[in-house]
C-alpha cells in the first residue's frame, strides 16, 4: 500500500480523518516491508517520530494545525544535520556523528509540524561513490545519486516527500530515474546551513515529491511562493543543440513525444539558441566542484585518505592540484554563462530538456550522467523534473524544466500544466 501524497495527507489530517500517529505507523510498516530490498534508510528514528506524532496528533485534536505539513512524515538526506540523530554523510569518517542541532531547513520543517522519519542514504559526501539503494522500478538499476535514498523512498510510496541536495544533478536526475518530481530551487533560496558542503558555489537544497502540487506546497511553506496563475498558455523553449545529440535515442524519442503533446495542449514551443558560453559550462562546473570539494575535505583527507572511497579520493587529490588561476577563470565563466542564459531565456517562460541522458543505468556501481542537470546547477537556475513516460523496459523518463533565477512561481505553474498534459500515472511494483 502506497502512502498518501502530501496533498492528500494534509487534507486528511486537517479534516480529522487521519492522525499523524496513523501516518507514522503506516510509514514504519512500509519500511519494514520494503527496506530489505530497497536499502533506503541509514537511520530510522522510530521513537522520535512516534513521540512527535503523538504531540502533533494532540495539537490537531485541539484544533491547532501548524501548517499544511502538520503531522506528515518525511525523509532527510544523510548530509543534513539532525539534532540527536546520527548523520553519517555516507562515510565511515562520520559513522558515529550525532549533531547537536538541526540543519536550518530541518528545524524549519519541524516548526511547521513535519515529522522526521529518518535519514536516507546518500552517496559518500554527496559525491559519486554510490549508496547501496536500489531503484524501486527495477532493483538491478541505480536510483541515481546523490539523493539516492530520498528518491527511492518517495517513488516506492513509503513517504510523501524527502529532502535532497544538488551540486550537479543530485535531485533532478534521481527524480527522473525513479519516476517522481524533483525540485531544485534557485541557488541559496533555501538555506544550506547545517548541510555538509560539497561545493559552496554549486550546492542547492531541494526535495522530492510524488507530484508538482506537493512541490508547490513545500515551496509555499518554506519560501512563501505561490504558483503563478497563468493568463495564457506558456511558452516553452527547446535548445537548438547539445541535448538532442547527447541523449540516448529512446530518451530523445520520449522527449520529442512530450514536446508534441505540450504543443497539442496550446503551449508555444520556441527554439532557443544556446550561448557560446554554454560550450564551457561543463568544464567550468567540473573545475569549481573539484577545487571546492578539495578545500572542504583537505583537513580530513590529509589525515585519513584511506577512509575515502575511490571516486571522491581521486577528486580531492586532483582538486588539490587545481591552480588558483583555473579556479578563478571557471568562476568568471560561471558569471558570464549565467548572464547570457538569462538573456537567452527572456523570450520564454521555461526551457525544456530531457532530465537525464538515459533511463536509470543497470548496476549499482555508478549513479548516472548529470550532464543535463549540472549546466543549470552552474547557473543557479531553478529546475523541476516531472515524469514523461516509460522506456520499453519499463523504466521512467523525466522532463526537466528550467526557469530564470527566482522564477519558481512561473516554473511551478508550467510544471503543473505540463504534468496535466503528459498524464503520467504509473507506479513501480512493490519491491517485496
Contacts of 305 (CB under 8 A, 6+ apart): 313, 317
**Catalytic position from the list 10, 91, 146, 418:** 146
**Residue holding cell 548541510?**
195
Whole-angstrom Cα distance, residue 9 to residue 392?
Answer: 33
Cα(first)–Cα(last) distance of the chain, in Å?
12
Q: What are phi and psi of 118, to 5 degrees?
A: 170, -175
Chain centroid to Cα 291, Å, comes to 23
Whole-angstrom Cα distance, residue 84 to residue 305?
Answer: 28
**Catalytic position from the list 170, 199, 277, 404:** 170
Whole-angstrom Cα distance, residue 283 to residue 387?
Answer: 28
Asked if 174 and 151 count as a contact pair (C-beta separation under 8 A), the reply is yes
Sheet strand arrangement including 73-77:
41-44, 115-120, 73-77, 161-166, 204-209, 181-184, 383-390, 396-402, 350-354, 235-239, 268-272
Cis check for the bond before 146: say yes or no (omega within 30 of 0): yes
Rg of the chain's alpha carbons, rounded to an integer? Answer: 20
| Active site annotation includes 146 | yes
Whole-angstrom Cα distance, residue 332 to residue 284?
Answer: 9
**Residue holding cell 519560501?**
223
| Active site annotation includes 77 | yes
Asked if 6 and 210 count as a contact pair (C-beta separation under 8 A), the reply is yes
| Cα separations in angstroms, 275 against 99, 238, 311, 417 | 44, 13, 32, 28
| Active site annotation includes 83 | no
| C-alpha cell recorded at residue 347 | 523570450
**Catalytic position from the list 10, 39, 77, 148:** 77
| Cα separations in angstroms, 138 against 93, 141, 143, 287, 338 | 31, 6, 9, 34, 37
Supply the residues annotated as catalytic: 77, 146, 170
Amino acid at each position: 500500500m502506497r502512502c498518501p501524497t502530501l496533498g492528500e495527507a494534509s487534507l486528511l489530517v486537517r479534516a480529522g480523518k487521519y492522525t499523524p500517529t496513523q501516518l507514522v505507523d503506516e510509514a514504519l510498516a512500509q519500511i519494514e516491508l520494503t527496506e530489505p530490498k530497497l536499502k533506503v534508510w541509514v537511520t530510522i528514528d522510530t521513537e522520535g517520530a512516534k513521540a512527535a506524532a503523538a504531540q502533533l496528533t494532540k495539537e490537531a485534536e485541539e484544533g491547532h494545525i501548524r501548517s499544511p505539513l502538520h503531522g506528515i512524515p518525511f525523509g532527510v538526506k544523510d548530509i543534513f544535520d539532525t539534532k540527536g540523530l546520527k548523520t553519517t554523510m555516507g562515510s565511515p569518517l562520520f559513522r558515529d556523528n550525532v549533531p547537536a542541532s538541526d540543519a536550518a531547513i530541518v528545524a524549519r520543517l519541524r516548526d511547521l509540524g513535519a515529522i522526521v522519519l529518518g535519514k536516507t542514504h546518500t552517496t559518500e559526501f554527496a559525491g559519486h561513490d554510490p549508496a547501496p539503494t536500489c531503484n524501486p522500478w527495477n532493483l538491478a538499476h541505480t536510483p541515481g545519486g546523490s539523493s539516492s535514498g530520498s528518491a527511492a523512498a518517495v517513488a516506492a510510496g513509503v513517504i510523501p516527500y524527502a529532502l535532497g541536495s544538488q551540486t550537479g544533478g543530485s535531485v533532478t536526475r534521481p527524480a527522473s530515474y525513479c519516476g517522481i518530481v524533483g525540485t531544485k530551487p534557485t541557488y541559496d533560496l533555501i538555506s544550506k546551513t547545517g548541510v555538509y558542503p560539497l561545493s559552496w558555489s554549486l550546492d542547492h537544497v531541494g526535495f522530492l515529491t510524488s507530484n508538482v502540487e506537493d512541490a508547490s506546497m513545500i515551496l509555499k511553506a518554506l519560501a512563501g511562493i505561490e504558483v503563478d496563475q497563468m493568463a495564457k498558455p506558456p511558452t516553452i523553449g527547446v535548445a537548438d543543440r547539445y541535448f538532442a545529440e547527447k541523449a540516448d535515442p529512446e530518451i530523445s524519442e520520449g522527449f520529442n513525444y512530450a514536446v508534441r503533446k505540450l504543443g497539442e495542449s496550446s503551449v508555444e514551443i520556441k527554439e532557443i539558441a544556446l550561448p557560446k558560453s554554454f560550450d564551457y559550462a561543463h568544464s567550468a562546473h567540473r573545475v569549481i566542484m573539484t577545487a571546492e570539494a578539495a578545500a572542504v575535505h583537505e583537513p580530513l583527507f590529509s589525515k585519513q585518505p584511506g577512509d575515502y572511497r575511490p571516486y571522491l579520493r581521486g577528486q580531492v587529490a586532483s582538486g588539490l592540484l587545481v591552480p588558483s588561476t583555473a579556479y578563478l577563470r571557471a568562476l568568471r565563466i560561471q558569471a558570464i554563462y549565467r548572464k547570457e542564459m538569462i538573456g537567452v531565456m527572456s523570450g520564454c517562460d521555461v526551457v525544456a530538456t530531457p532530465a537525464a541522458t538515459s533511463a536509470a543505468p543497470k548496476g549499482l556501481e555508478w549513479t548516472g550522467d548529470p550532464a543535463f542537470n549540472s549546466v543549470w546547477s552552474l547557473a543557479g537556475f531553478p529546475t523541476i523534473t516531472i515524469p514523461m513516460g516509460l522506456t520499453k523496459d519499463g523504466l521512467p523518463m523525466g522532463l526537466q524544466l528550467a526557469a530564470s533565477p527566482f522564477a519558481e512561481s512561473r516554473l511551478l505553474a508550467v510544471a503543473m500544466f505540463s504534468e496535466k498534459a503528459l498524464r503520467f500515472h504509473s507506479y513501480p511494483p512493490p519491491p517485496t
